[in-house]
Structure 1
């Protein structure tokens, strides 16, 4: 895969992305050569926008023809969900493992979808991207391949939906932005938590002024998957465990960050200015590696590695003077939490610990009856239209299906997507930025403006379904 990535960058040509000629990226074309001062330069890079992808409506597609790359747990589930959406056609499937493609082919046997299969060879995914009968590439591979595949797909005229994070370096973030602007192809990160029911409710409430001026928001991903990181079967080639060795900081910020960025109109009226980040030491991962290696020599190479710390806490200051707190811990034995907290001048909402709660004063949370009335008033039309079907189809309680259905409906009706390439780049950039801060005694680091200043005029996302909503469900 290293050769594959190196060949791609060589063939793709950074000059064609408009970056190499500026001198900004000429010295750092891979993660191995990116040093601390390089990250600072990329964080301060001033972007001259070629085309504004925020609010961009691509030409309508009556039928959205889809190709899937990566058929592990998430990819396989996505194929099953997409097969339930009308006016889609699954034309191609790709995974390095033949047994994985076979599962998805079997899942589609009773449908009208008859995809071509690409497997066995590491570069088979390129053949899929080069097909003329695909409009959208859905990428659910290991993290290091997200950006190379997304770039290749856009350069071959395809819209892209890519699993989180969309990028793991600032270089990759800028590549995604430049390529999307140049090709006018959508690059949407599949941040499904933006489509969870309480998150969408609070977004609707914020749009209608319920919280007043937003002061502070918090998000988190606290999920004990310590054993899963070491599983030989859960993640291909233990890629996720290797990411926990390769990177420090907040490796997985977007579940908590995406929904609150939408509430705060980040990239659409406000922007992030700078970040500080601090991490604990590792108290769990190396100990587990030692325990496993004592029983199975397979795990000996993973002993005494420089694992990321258990808990990372990052804080962000925005241009408008608001603050964001993010946390990441995937190894401690704590109850699951995707903290979603919104604090405004007129009200507060908090999800996790469950049940989700809302308050309008310092005296406590609203009653269930009061909360029910708020839900009836502020539930967005998207949830009213497709919410029950989404719950029936499933995918993290239905939010995955809401995300997929909404994306297809936007492409079919020529509507802007709820998440654009600037969101994908910004939310993903927290990984390398927090890593830099952790490695530099929690000093602050600037957060790039991937919009090139257009955040000042970009409009907030419309979730009202005032347009669209025409796609059926099978």
Structure 2
């Protein structure tokens, strides 16, 4: 069996999960990983590059992998992916990717010029329920799609805060970098969990495209309340609203609602709903109604 020479940039929480998964498939040969904070991580038989933030470039040049998994913190995704594509490496890009409008464009253009592929790793695309609904929509069971809803509704307070209520101090976890977004940004930080399956189901970016969007944010109170309850500090600055609601309209007139909801008590939810002229599916309640 011909193996795919594979490398990793970033082996934190998500990177370790993917690395362990790949090591169960004989087709992938993981030759190296790069992460400046890799001390103490046991990855037997794999060369580790941890001499500063740019040591991943040495890894790419020396090992010349065919495929690179980019699982670094969000703000580095595009930068790391661009360097991979410049070296003719295919890229598996962990969920988040770009942060700003137009940030992806240089990566897209480079990939097209070099005939490299950039694969976004959005796991919600492969849920059995979303794949089933996608098949039903393609078969015409839902008629014409009118409205869709999805979201990232996941209480992250235990990740963003440590047990004493300090933000960004949950050991060597993504809390260290992820929590900073809650102190300097205000928007939907993680839209793809809810949005990607909706795009797949409705054919967006294939037969339909986004026309306009608008977002609203509630006040920030959830994290502040938890911090106050744990150690009484009321001086911490939080800019991220507890609820971010985004409304999107496509060129064909489909309305999409997205919710980002990560700092209030709640059970985990992707909040899926697909409504057409002939049927409706509500994911959280496992309900489908066909006329």
Query: TM > 0.5 between the two?
Result: yes
Structure 1 equivalent of residue 16 of structure 2 = 76
Query: Is the 1:71–1:95 Cα contact (8 Å) retained in structure 2?
Result: yes
Structure 1 equivalent of residue 244 of structure 2 = 312
Query: Is the 1:219–1:325 Cα contact (8 Å) retained in structure 2?
Result: yes
Q: Does 2:88 match 1:167?
A: no
Q: Does 2:82 match 1:151?
A: yes
Question: TM-score, normalised to structure 2's length?
Answer: 0.91
| Distance of aligned partners of 1:97 and 1:334 in 2 relative to their CA distance in 1, 3 Å threshold | same
| Distance of aligned partners of 1:205 and 1:258 in 2 relative to their CA distance in 1, 3 Å threshold | same
| Distance of aligned partners of 1:163 and 1:307 in 2 relative to their CA distance in 1, 3 Å threshold | same
136, 157, 166: which one aligns with 1:205 = 136
| Aligned pairs for 1:218-229 within 5 A | 218-229=149-160
Q: For residues 400-432 of structure 1, give each alpha carbon's deviation from its aligned partner in whole angstroms, at most 9, with x where no partner exists.
A: xxxxxxxxxxxxxxxxxxxxxxxxxxxxxxxxx
69, 87, 97: which one aligns with 2:27 = 87
| Distance of aligned partners of 1:132 and 1:238 in 2 relative to their CA distance in 1, 3 Å threshold | closer
Higher relative contact order (CA 8 A, sep 6+): 1
Q: For residues 48-90 of structure 1, give each alpha carbon's deviation from its aligned partner in whole angstroms, at most 9, with x where no partner exists.
A: xxxxxxxxxxxxx942211011111111111111111132111
Q: Could you say what secondary structure the match of 2:42 adopts? A: helix
Q: Does 2:173 match 1:246?
A: no
272, 288, 291: which one aligns with 1:358 = 288
Q: CA deviation at 1:291?
A: 5.2
Greater share of helix? 1
Q: Could you say what secondary structure the match of 1:241 adopts? A: helix
326, 342, 356: which one aligns with 2:258 = 326
Q: Does 2:194 match 1:256?
A: yes
Following the alignment from structure 1 to structure 2, what is the Cα–Cα distance between the partners of residues 333 and 236?
Answer: 20
Q: Does 2:5 match 1:65?
A: yes
338, 341, 347: which one aligns with 2:279 = 347
Q: Does 2:38 match 1:104?
A: no
Q: Could you say what secondary structure the match of 1:307 adopts? A: coil
Q: Could you say what secondary structure the match of 1:228 adopts? A: helix
Q: For residues 182-239 of structure 1, give each alpha carbon's deviation from its aligned partner in whole angstroms, at most 9, with x where no partner exists.
A: 2221112211110111111111222222212111111011111112112322535721
Q: Does 2:109 match 1:178?
A: yes
Query: Is the 2:31–2:63 Cα contact (8 Å) retained in structure 1?
Result: no
Q: Could you say what secondary structure the match of 1:245 adopts? A: coil
Q: For residues 313-354 of structure 1, give each alpha carbon's deviation from its aligned partner in whole angstroms, at most 9, with x where no partner exists.
A: 10100011111100011011112111121111121112114x
Query: Is the 2:11–2:38 Cα contact (8 Å) retained in structure 1?
Result: no
Greater share of strand? 2
Q: Could you say what secondary structure the match of 2:282 adopts? A: strand
Query: Is the 1:69–1:93 Cα contact (8 Å) retained in structure 2?
Result: yes
Q: CA deviation at 1:245?
A: 1.7
| Aligned pairs for 1:299-448 within 5 A | 303-353=235-285, 356-361=286-291
191, 203, 206: which one aligns with 1:265 = 203
Following the alignment from structure 1 to structure 2, what is the Cα–Cα distance between the partners of residues 306 and 178?
Answer: 36
| Aligned pairs for 1:6-25 within 5 A | none
| Distance of aligned partners of 1:307 and 1:286 in 2 relative to their CA distance in 1, 3 Å threshold | farther
Q: Could you say what secondary structure the match of 2:266 adopts? A: coil
| Distance of aligned partners of 1:305 and 1:351 in 2 relative to their CA distance in 1, 3 Å threshold | same
Query: Is the 2:161–2:175 Cα contact (8 Å) retained in structure 1?
Result: no
Query: Is the 2:93–2:118 Cα contact (8 Å) retained in structure 1?
Result: yes
Which runs of 5 or more residues in structure 1 are unaligned?
1-60, 106-113, 295-299, 362-474
Aligned residues: 284
Which runs of 5 or more residues in structure 2 are unaligned?
163-169
Q: For residues 429-466 of structure 1, give each alpha carbon's deviation from its aligned partner in whole angstroms, at most 9, with x where no partner exists.
A: xxxxxxxxxxxxxxxxxxxxxxxxxxxxxxxxxxxxxx
Q: Could you say what secondary structure the match of 2:183 adopts? A: helix
Q: Could you say what secondary structure the match of 1:316 adopts? A: strand
Q: CA deviation at 1:122?
A: 1.8
Query: Is the 1:230–1:238 Cα contact (8 Å) retained in structure 2?
Result: no
Following the alignment from structure 1 to structure 2, what is the Cα–Cα distance between the partners of residues 321 and 186?
Answer: 31
